[in-house]
Each structure stands twice: as structure tokens, then as C-alpha cells.
Amino acid sequence: MDREPTRDDVDALVGPATPHFAFQLRARVRELVDGLPAEHEVRRYAEAQMRRLDDLGYASSKADEGQRESPERIGWDELPSSAPVDQPLPRRS
């Protein structure tokens, strides 16, 4: 990159993230800010977004907005996966 990365550059990568591509996008964000010092504001922002992408990789949806379905809803127990990003599936050891 010819210039220093910005928060907008990080957001451009993270914004369209889905669980299926979260880990690949996390790697791209890491590459984007790799040369920045640890105390750099954009690097700290990117590291927070990488943690969010890591959680998303273990989730079944972003579920950032809107009302959630109640687990008491009829048929909820038949859903194969229901793990929003703020409550991701447990990580394998």
C-alpha cells in the first residue's frame, strides 16, 4: 500500500463480513495494519475489529440489529444453528 491505512480501510474490509468469510477477512485486516506500531490508533481499532471477526467466525449471523427470536418460539429447538456474534458457538480446543 502506498499510504498509511485508515479506519475507513479497515471498515471496508470488515463491513460486509459474514461468518463464512470472517477468518479470511481477519487475515486481510491483519496484513493491512501489520506495519503500524502497536500504539497506532488505526492498529488498535483494527485489532478490536479482528476480535469481532474472530467471534463472527464462530457465529451463525452478525445479528447486529433488530429484535431476536425468542428461544421459546415453536420450532426453535429444530434450528440447526443459532449463534449470533455476541454469543458465538464455543471454540474447539
* Alpha helices (H) along the chain: 7-14, 22-33, 41-57
Average pLDDT on 49-76 reads 74
25 burial (CB, 10 Å; 0-12 / 13-18 / 19+) is buried
Is 2 a domain residue?
no
pLDDT > 80? residue 36: yes
Is 70 a domain residue?
no
Is 85 a domain residue?
no
Is 72 a domain residue?
no
How many independent structural domains does the chain possess? 1
Is 21 a domain residue?
yes
Condensed to tens digits (0 to 9), the pLDDT of residues 64-83 reads 555 666 667 676 666 555 66
pTM for this predicted structure = 0.70
Is 59 a domain residue?
yes
Average pLDDT on 45-74 reads 78
Q: Which domain, by its residues, includes 29? A: 7-65
From residue 83, how far is each of 53, 69, 93 by CA, in Å? 14, 12, 18
Q: What is the pLDDT of residue 66?
A: 59
